Amino acid sequence: MAETTHFHVEHLFSLKDYVCLVTGGGTGIGLMATQALSANGAKVYITGRRKEVLDKAREIHHPDKQEADIRGEIIPIGPTDVRSKDDLQKLMKEIESKERYLSLVVAAAGVPGPKEPAPDTNDARELKDKLWDSEEPEQWNETFNVDVTSVYFTTLAAMPLLQAAPKDHYPSAIIISSMSGMMRNSQSHFAYNAAKAATAHLSKMMSSEFSRFGVRINSIAPGYFPSEMTMKQSDERNKADMPDEKVKDKGHKTPAERSGRDEEMGMAVIFLTKCAYVNGQILAVDGGVLNEVAS
């Protein structure tokens, strides 16, 4: 049985000796995860398609040297195109040449997909013409390729290293899906919302099928968080800002009345990393939006 001292936050959430991989780790939610993990002692490999973005993330956001007793590391690796099996194999071989195991994989790489006009007409022919002409099947294929297919192959490629982790790390993967995959309205993003729904269900299937290897799979479904994907740009620190007005102008209520904070995403990541009794779950970190919209 646990003594009271065992509940100290440093005991509950220390990530000392954890080795992690974050795809899309240079910006957005991937960078938030990277900061949270490395600040609490983990060695975090970050990858993505743009080497300069990864290098900047390490330069600017590497844990403070004054916290040497608990700080981890941020290590750029790659670049990697997660759509490519060859790139994923190369990535895992490079990590395996440096590490004996991975404690955690965060699959955060993603794309927003095409945006359609709002389906706001009662005339079926007008609706068909508006949506038919606004996008192409290739755009849907690319959205699913990045947001769903690459998540599967990234997790699969990492399985041997995850299984090799110390048992007390309770190795796991965290799949970044979206609250958009849990709601019924399209938000003028049919492809993205459908892909994120598939990503969330994929995480559940993998949690069941891969549990025999001692690896947990959970998903985080973020709401409105500032990122390069949502705001179309990042600043000189690889960060983005989402004004409160943008959150309030979504056509529905957001009970939190603001976007999510970086630290709140970090809390979710660390909780799923450390709480070994959680497996196969989708954690919505959405400011209460799913209480307000049909899901």
The residue type at 212: R
43-47: strand order across its sheet: 73-76, 43-47, 19-23, 104-107, 172-176, 216-222, 282-285
Catalytically annotated residue among 101, 192, 224, 234: 192
Listed in order, strand segments (DSSP E) in 157-238 are 172-176, 216-222
In the annotation, is 45 catalytic? no
Q: Within 10 A of 96 (CB to CB), how many other CB atoms are there?
A: 14
Q: Is the pLDDT of residue 36 over 60?
A: yes
Inter-CA distances, 260 with 32, 113, 136, 285, Å? 11, 22, 32, 8
Q: Is the pLDDT of residue 119 over 90?
A: no
Output the pLDDT for position 67: 58
pTM, two decimals, is 0.94
In the annotation, is 196 catalytic? yes
Q: Which residue in 294, 110, 117 sits closest to 189, CA to CA?
A: 117
Q: Is the pLDDT of residue 253 over 80?
A: yes
In the annotation, is 177 catalytic? yes
Output the pLDDT for position 94: 98
Q: Residue 208 carries which DSSP code?
A: H
Catalytically annotated residue among 103, 150, 177, 227: 177
Rounded to an integer, what distance in angstroms lies between the CA atom of residue 264 and that of residue 242?
A: 15
Return the CATH number of the domain spanning residue range 4-291.
3.40.50.720
Catalytically annotated residue among 43, 56, 103, 196: 196
- Each residue's pLDDT tens digit, 49-92: 999 999 999 999 999 765 556 779 999 999 999 999 999 999 99
Question: What average pLDDT score do residues 248-255 get?
Answer: 83
Identify which has the larger pLDDT, 205 or 10.
205
Instruction: Tell me if 22 sits within 8 A of 108, measured CB to CB.
Output: yes
Output the pLDDT for position 68: 55
The domain segmentation of the chain, as residue ranges, is 4-291
Output the pLDDT for position 17: 96
Output the pLDDT for position 65: 62
- Each residue's pLDDT tens digit, 143-156: 999 999 999 999 99
- Each residue's pLDDT tens digit, 160-205: 999 999 999 999 999 999 999 999 989 999 999 999 999 999 999 9
Q: Residue 50 carries which DSSP code?
A: -
Q: Which residue in 52, 54, 44 sits closest to 74, CA to CA?
A: 44
Mean pLDDT of the chain: 94
- Each residue's pLDDT tens digit, 126-143: 999 999 999 999 999 999
